[in-house]
Amino acid sequence: MRKGILSLTAAAAVLALGLTACGGNSGPTSSTSSASSSQKAGKIGVILPDSKSSARWETADRKYLEEAFKAAGVAYDIQNAQNDKTAFQTIADQMITNGATVLMIVNLDSGTGKTVIDKAKSQGVATIDYDRLTLGGGAAYYVSFDNTKVGTLQGEGLVKCLTDKKASKPIIAELNGSPTDNNATLFKAGYDGVLKPKYDSGDFVKGPDQSVPDWDNTQAGTIFEQMLTSAPKIAGVLAANDGLGNAAITVLKKNNLNGKVPVTGQDATVQGLQNILVGDQCMTVYKAVKKEADAASKLAVALAKGEKPTASGSVKDPQSGQDVPSELMEPQAIYLDNVKDVVADGYVTKAELCTGDFAAKCTEAGIQ
Ligand code: BGC
C-alpha cells in the first residue's frame, strides 16, 4: 500500500511538472484543447455535473482528464452543466454537432442521462458513464470506484470513531447523497450494511435518516438542523460526502457539539481534510481521482481512434440487467493519522491544506 502511494506520488509529480510546462487553458466551466487546430475539435466530449456538490469535479476530475487528453494529443472539450439538466442536454447536443465521437458523462439523474446517451448512440457516438452509472442508460463503458466499498469504509469509520470515543448506545443520523445518484444508493448500501447489525444488536440507535436532493450543501444544513432538533442527542453522523459533512459540522458548531459528535465524509477535499485536522470530522474516503480519470481517458482515447477497447471487469445495471464493461478503482479510508497520504499522493498540496491556523495541525499530523 505504502509503496503504491510512493510510486504514485512520483508519477503525479512528473505529470504535474509536465502540466506546468505545457501551460493551462482551463476556464472555470469549460476547457477545450488548444491543439485542436490540426485535429477535429471536440473529439472527446466530457460533461461534469456541477461545481458545488463536491470540489472534486473542478479541482480534480477536470485537471486529471485534461492532463491525460493532452498527453495523448487528442482533441477534447470538457464542460460543466452546473446542475442544470437542460443545459446538460444542450451541451451534449453541441458537442456532437461539433464533431465529438466520444461522449463521457457524469449524469445529473438517470432519466436525463439516458436521453443524452440514446441521442449519442443514434449518431454513432461512443458513450462512457464516468463515476455515476446511468441506470437503464446502456452506456458502452462505466468507470468509477467500488462505491459500495466507499460506503462500507464510511460505516466502519463511524464505528471506529464512536468506539474511540467510548460512546454508549449512540444515536446515529444518516445524511445521504442525492436520491437520483446511483452512487448515493451504493454508498448507503455499504454503510447500512455495517450500521444495521449495530442497530439490530442495540449497540447503536437508529436516528434520522434522510437524503439530500442534488447533494445540495445548503439544504443539507437545513436538513441536519431539523434532525438535531428532532433528536438532540445525535451522537454520530454518517454524512455521505465532505460537503454534507461540513454542513452538519456547521450546525454542530452552533450547538457546541463539534468534535464531540463524529462526522464522516468522502472525497478528501481540502475542507474535509481541514475538518479532520482540527478534529471536527472523524474520517473521509479518499478516491484517487487521477486513477479514475486515467482509466476513463484511456478508454476514451482508444474509442476516439476508432478502437474497441476491452475493460477489465463489468457491472450489472440493476435496471436493464445488462452487464456494462467497467473499470472500478479502490477507495481508501482517511483518518487524522493518514491525512498525510493524500498530500503525499499529490491530490491536495500542503500549500492549500496547511493555511493559517491549520499549519500547526499539519505539522502535528506529519504533513511534509
Ligand atoms: C461522487 C462523489 C461526490 C458526489 C457529489 C458522487 O456521485 O461519487 O465523489 O461527492 O457525487 O458530487
Same-domain check for residues 311 and 293: yes
| Ligand 1 mean position, distance from CA 54 (Å) | 6
CB 251 within 8 A of CB 222: no
Cα(66)–Cα(85) distance, rounded to whole angstroms? 23
Same-domain check for residues 100 and 28: yes
Q: How many domains does the chain have?
A: 2
Same-domain check for residues 299 and 357: no
- What's 71's domain CATH number? 3.40.50.2300
Same-domain check for residues 206 and 122: no
Which residue has the CA at smallest separation from atom 3 of ligand 1? 54
Cα(14)–Cα(36) distance, rounded to whole angstroms? 24
- Say what the pLDDT of residue 5 is: 42
For the chain, which residues score pLDDT lower than 50?
1-28, 34-41
Same-domain check for residues 339 and 210: yes
In angstroms and rounded to an integer, the radius of gyration of the C-alpha atoms of the chain is 21
Cα(123)–Cα(24) distance, rounded to whole angstroms? 32
CB 123 within 8 A of CB 96: yes
Instruction: Check if 131 has its Cβ closer than 6 Å to any atom of ligand 1.
Output: yes
pTM, full prediction: 0.90
Residue-number span of the structural domain to which 27 is assigned: 2-139+288-329
- Say what the pLDDT of residue 247 is: 98
Which residue has the CA at smallest separation from atom 6 of ligand 1? 183
Same-domain check for residues 114 and 179: no
Cα(280)–Cα(257) distance, rounded to whole angstroms? 9
Same-domain check for residues 75 and 213: no
| Ligand 1 mean position, distance from CA 39 (Å) | 33
What are the angstrom distances between the C-alpha of 316 and each of 126, 145, 254?
A: 19, 14, 44
| Ligand 1 mean position, distance from CA 178 (Å) | 9
* φ, ψ dihedrals at 98, nearest 5°: -80, 10
Same-domain check for residues 22 and 43: yes
Closest by CA position to 261, among listed 272, 270, 251: 251
Rounded (5°) CA angle 109-321-108: 5
- Say what the pLDDT of residue 42 is: 53
DSSP codes of every residue in 284-337: EEE--HHHHHHHHHHHHHHHHTT--PPPSEEEE-TTT-PEEEEEEEPPEEE-GG
- Say what the pLDDT of residue 120 is: 98
- Say what the pLDDT of residue 357 is: 95
